[in-house]
Chains A and B, each alone.
Chain A
């Protein structure tokens, strides 16, 4: 007779079968049996955060930096509601995650029980899918489905809500090797006729442009993208989410595009005649107002795993639904076999134009200033880490400077909340990154406003000895809010001044970390070198920066890409 296991045992066994190494969570009444089983084993390491939002961000950072599914465990009620921001963050950026949430016992559901919320209802709009497991016999197969759905197609978070009584009931454990869903079968390879059409269109291009997005990172397609772009000698830009998909130090890379993209990237995007969009979705922060984008004629080829991303904001000419890596491989093969070549003379002229735009030096700033320029800190950080660190960020000006000045040559090194724009993401996601990449250098570029949204995680970092380097670009303002107020609200800085800031050095020290305050430009280099020598300790570096520095270039909301405000 095969032995029966409890629901809690089954859940943990499923995680083991999936090869989950870390689970980020916070215990509570509804998940006590699950924690009891976690306690009895050591294959799945539990990481205790200080707030459920951080559990989600940590699992998210873990996933982004490793291409494994991130896993979080939270209790019912407030455990879930605290987690929602983290779930939505992962959903907007298509990050594969499985969230296990406790629920009140089946009989209590709908009775307004203690710590009861309609978890499936609350999370429905911000998950790829979710399940409520009411029957223990469905538990293992549901968890299998969750991992399958989360990690295939366009990835995303999947939540499994398990009532407490289900974790106590018993059933025979069987974990299926695979699972198939009649209503879910993501495509992989692209339609070859469409790919052929794309090849023809590319061959006829006079001013081609490659626009790559987060899909390239998610699908591990950086090698294919790099090979294709180099083979064609085309200019390549990237969205915020796609940085690292093509080496940023390469001559063919024209920088990030969009609201705070480079002049050359935005101009090339606007004036190209054939645009190849790869795993990107033409969102409002990337192309600005579609009306302005349409004012120039261009042909668009769009490669994406998600059909609903195609022709959503911008009508495209050649849609190719498929996994980015598979389609890029096909394109590479076709171009290698094809005798025709892109017209070299036109391409040469296009490059000359791009170089003129590039010569505008749109990211320049005052390097000789007597106050610390935030850009300089990021540049120094890049230098000292050899461009090889994992960088997480929060949301705001510091995020944009990180994206502009840290040149990512490799994928999965840049971890930030692009879609949802979640302040508080940086520190907890850095924890997940460090867990997934022990021994690697991990830095969190943040600001004094963002860091305070999940500052309690300094405690988690201490408990697990995470030697994260926090680069706090402290301008005493919610900098991006301040910038918009300066530009668009008549310098009325409503509630954007960060008054009553803590002494971050003492704060870090009180958590058992190292704190540093740097307020002179000439001290940046030495301080960073000193901090990175402390490879066993978290160092909180509080850089007192120029209060009024703005992020340039900037495409104001509702404007077109060629209408940038330049420094």
Chain B
């Protein structure tokens, strides 16, 4: 979409006005600074998703749109989790879990680990389920970004 003030609010406004659901949304400028790329995750029956696609295409600032899930795609999301890590046993266990999920601990104090984790939505959800709920202090997730598999390209 055009990298312009107001473009994002047009998309967000469309979803709220028509009662569509935004599960996550991530947007940033591309290698062409006049364009932004937005990855939006939504859900609904086929006919609703078709309507969402058509309505988004009508927005003047939406340059090109692709339903990634219509074919193979890869997705990644970044999550930062701050956990309470006090005492040798807890600290060890958290470290092990982070390793299993191929995450990194990127900030450490004597009471806190901050964990960085990248992966699909379900992997990040899996990590949170595996963690002891009581230890989780704060979570920041970026929302999903995605690309089509293989030759399929969304570009001008």
Residues of chain A whose beta carbon lies under 8 Å from any beta carbon of chain B: 120-121, 124-125, 128-129, 132, 149, 181-184, 306-308, 311-312, 315
A315–B156 CB distance below 8 A: no
Cα separation A203 to B6 with both chains bound (whole Å): 49
Q: Which residues of A contact B17 (CB under 8 A)?
A: 125
Q: Nearest-CB distance from A379 to chain B (Å)?
A: 41
Once bound together, how far apart are the Cα atoms of A132 and B6, in whole Å? 10
B9's partner among A121, A132, A311, A315 (CB-CB below 8 A) is A121
B58:A124 contact, CB within 8 angstroms: no
B51 near A: Cβ within 8 Å? yes
User: A308-B55, A311-B47 are contacts. A183–B62 as well, Cβ < 8 Å?
Assistant: yes
Chain A residue at minimal CB-CB distance from B60:
A129
**B142 CB-CB contact with A under 8 Å:** no
Chain B 6-19: CB-based contact to A (< 8 A → 1; otherwise 0): 10011001000100
Q: Once the chains bind, are A125 and B51 in contact (CB under 8 Å)?
A: no
A-B contact pairs, 5 of them (CB 8 A): A129-B60, A183-B63, A307-B54, A307-B57, A311-B47
The 3 closest A-B pairs by CB, nearest first: A308-B54, A183-B63, A129-B60
Are the C-beta atoms of A120 and B6 separated by less than 8 Å? Answer: yes
For the residues of A in contact with B, the DSSP-based class is: mixed
In the complex, which residues of chain B have a beta carbon less than 8 angstroms from the beta carbon of A132? 5-6
Distance of A73 Cα from B156 Cα, bound (Å): 37
- B residues with a Cβ closer than 8 A to A are 1-2, 5-6, 9-10, 13, 17, 47, 50-51, 54-55, 57-58, 60-64, 156
Which residue from chain A places its CB closest to the CB of B63 in the assembled complex? A183
A209 to chain B, nearest CB (A): 24
Determine how close the nearest CB of chain B comes to the CB of A148; give it in whole angstroms: 11
Task: Please state if B60 and A149 are interface contacts (CB–CB under 8 Å).
Answer: yes
- Tell me, rounded to whole Å, the shortest Cβ–Cβ distance linking B49 to chain A: 12
Residue in B closest to A309 when the chains form the complex, CB atoms = B54
B57 partner residues in chain A, CB cutoff 8 A: 307-308
Q: Report the minimum CB–CB distance from B61 to chain A (whole Å).
A: 6
Contacts of A184 in B (CB 8 A): 60
Contacts of A315 in B (CB 8 A): 47
CA distance A319 to B47 in the complex (A): 14
Of the listed residues A125, A128, A308, the one surrounded by the most CB atoms of chain B closer than 10 A to its CB is A308
Q: What A residues does B2 contact at CB under 8 A?
A: 183
Q: How far is the CA of A307 from the CA of B54 in the complex (A)?
A: 7
Which residue of B is nearest A184, CB measured? B60
Contacts of A182 in B (CB 8 A): 63, 156
User: Are A311 and B50 in contact (CB-based, < 8 A)?
Assistant: yes
Shortest distance in angstroms between A125's beta carbon and chain B's nearest beta carbon?
5
List residues of chain B with CB within 8 A of the CB of A307: 54, 57
Q: How far is the CB of A282 from chain B (nearest CB, A)?
A: 13
List residues of chain A with CB within 8 A of the CB of B5.
132
Asked whether B10 lies within 8 Å of A124 as measured between CB atoms, the reply is yes
Contact of A308 among B6, B51, B61, B64 (CB under 8 A): B51
Distance between A471 CB and nearest chain B CB, rounded to angstroms: 37
Nearest chain A CB to B25's CB is how many angstroms away? 17
